[in-house]
Structure 1
C-alpha cells in the first residue's frame, strides 16, 4: 500500500468572524476556529487516514493573517499517488470558498516535519489609523482591519525609544495575558524586531481620504499569548503621553503579568500575522517522493 504524504500549507484569513486560528473544543458551541474549517476541507478530499492538522501560530479571535501555516498527513484511497501541491491548493480552496480563508501555497514535506516547532521566525504587523473619531468613519475596506485612534499624531520618537527597550533577550512575563492557559510556556524570548513606521492603505489610493496609518512590526521565533497586543498597547500609550518610556522598562523588568496596566492592550482587529519562516532544507522531501508526486494525475478527490 502506498504511504501517505505530509504537507505544509500556507493560508491567509480575515479573523473577524472566527474564534481564532486554533480548533474549538467539541464541548464549546458557537464560532469555529480557522483550523476547524481547514480540517473540514481536508476531510472532503476523502483521505483514508483520520484528519488532524497542526498549526504554527494560534492567533486569537479577531486577529488576521496574511500567512499562517499548518501541516497534516493525507493518504489517498485506491493506492492513488499523493496530490501535487497545486492540485491540493485548488482542491482545498474549492471547499473553503464560503469562508474568508484561502490556501496560498502547499509543500510536500518530510514525514517528521512540524509546522510549529520547525518555524524559524514569526512576524506580526499591527495597523493603526490616526485621527478617526469612530469606526463608522472608516472606509468599508478598513472595517475590523485596524485600530482607529482619535489622535491625529503620536510621539513616534518616544514610541521607538520604548520599542528599543523590548528588543533582545527578555523575560516577557509582564506582556503575557493574565488568564493565559499557556502559563507553563517559557516567558524568555528573543524579540528580533520592534519597528514603527508609516503604513500605506488601500483607502488612501481609492477613497481620497487623508487617514494616516502607522504599522508596528514585531519579529521573533515565538511569542507569548497576547504579547504583541500588549506591547502595541504599551507603545501607543507612550505615543499618547499616557505612560513614560521608563514606565515601559519598569513593566518589562517586573516580569509579572499583573504589572501590566489594565485596559492597555490593543484590540485584536488591527493585528496581522504576516510571515512564518522555515529553513528550505526542512521543506525538502527525498527525490523518490518528489518523483512520486510528479506522477499524480488530475484533481480527483477520491
Structure 2
C-alpha cells in the first residue's frame, strides 16, 4: 500500500481469486476495441467501476485461458485508489462489491443422453481426418476408438458452496491405441456442441464421414 496520485490519496493493492464459465468469453484476457468479443477481464473491470477508484481499475491476471475455457480458480491483483481522506477498502468490502455487481448468467445444462447417443457414431475404426488439425503431417488418419463414455464427474474443491448446486461436472473418456493431433479435444468440442443443442447427434456421423478437417483453431 502506498501514496499515489492526488495529494493525500492512498492506493491499495488486492489479490483476488475468481472462477468463471468461459463459454461466452473470448478467453480471460481483456479484449480492447472489439465490441463483438469480450474477455473475462472486461467483465471484471466493468464491475470494478462501481468502486469509484480515482484511477480506472485494471486487473493483472496470473494466467490466461483460451476462448471458451472455464476456470475453477484463477488469480489477479488490482489497485484501487480512493479519494483523498478516505481509507482503503477492506478485503471483505472489495469482495462483496465485486460479487454484487458481477451478474451470474443462467447456466445451460448439457443434454447428456444426446451426447451419449452422438458418441456412438465415433466408436470403431474410422478415418478421423475431420477431427485433426488441418495440415497434420501423419500419413493416414485411420484410428480405432475402442471406448467413449460421458459420465458424472466429482465436484471440485474450488467450487464455492453457493455455486455447488448450479455447476455440474462431467467426465469424457476416450480409449484408443493412438490419437491424431487434437483429436480428443475436437471430439470433446463436438460432443459438447451436441449437449448444448447446437448439433444433432446424427450430425456427428456427418462430420466424421466428411473427412474434412475442422480447421487449425477449432
Using structure 1 for the length normalisation, give the TM-score: 0.39
Count of residue correspondences: 142
Matched, 1:17 2:24: yes
On the 8 A contact 2:11/2:88 being kept in 1, the answer is: yes
Q: What is aligned with 1:240?
A: 176
Residue of structure 2 in register with 1:79 after alignment: 85
Matched, 1:199 2:153: yes
1:54 to 40, 60, 66: 60
**Structure 1 residues 240 and 8: CA distance shift in structure 2, 3 A:** same
1:44 aligns with 2:76: no
Distance in 1 between the 2:23 and 2:178 partners?
29
Mapped partners of 1:242, 1:133: distance in 2: 27
- Structure 1 residues 96 and 213, CA gap change in structure 2 (3 angstroms): closer
Instruction: Tell me how far apart the structure 2 counterparts of residues 20 and 240 of structure 1 sit (CA, whole Å).
Output: 30
- Closer/same/farther in 2, CA of residues 29 and 93 from structure 1, 3 Å limit: same
C-alpha distance in structure 2 between counterparts of 1:41 and 1:214, whole Å? 33
Report 1 or 2 for greater relative contact order, CA contacts < 8 Å, sequence distance ≥ 6. Answer: 1
Instruction: Give per-residue Cα distances to partners, 1:42-85, cap 9 Å, x unaligned.
Output: 12211012322111121111111121111111111232111111
What aligned pairs does 1:146-295 form with structure 2 within 5 A after superposition?
Answer: 149-150=119-120, 199-200=153-154, 214=171, 239-243=175-179, 261=181, 263-266=183-186, 267=188
Equivalence for 1:68: 74
CA contact (8 A) 1:201 1:213 kept: no
Question: What is the rounded CA distance, in whole Å, between the counterparts of 2:61 and 2:47 in structure 1?
Answer: 15
Aligned-pair Cα RMSD in Å: 3.9
Which residue of structure 2 lines up, in the alignment, with residue 286 of structure 1? none
Structure 1 unpaired stretches of 5+: 101-128, 139-147, 154-176, 179-197, 207-211, 216-235, 244-259, 271-302
Does the 8 Å contact 1:11/1:69 carry over to 2? yes
* Equivalent-residue separation in structure 2 for 1:5 and 1:18 (angstroms): 29
Provide the rounded CA distance (Å) in 2 between the counterparts of 1:36 and 1:30. Answer: 12
Bigger radius of gyration, 1 or 2? 2
| Matches of 2:73 and 2:18, distance apart in 1 | 5
Per-residue CA deviation, residues 168-215 of structure 1 (Å, 9 max, x unaligned), is: xxxxxxxxx99xxxxxxxxxxxxxxxxxxx93369xxx9xxxxx9548
The answer to whether the Cα contact below 8 Å between 1:2 and 1:80 also exists between their aligned partners in 2 is yes
Instruction: Verify the 8 A CA contact 1:133 1:150 in the aligned structure 2.
Output: no
Contact 2:60–2:77 under 8 Å retained in 1: yes
Could you tell me how far apart the structure 2 residues matched to 1:201 and 1:53 are?
Answer: 28
Q: Name the SS of the counterpart of 1:80 in structure 2.
A: coil
SS in 1 for 2:47: helix
CA contact (8 A) 2:27 2:67 kept: yes
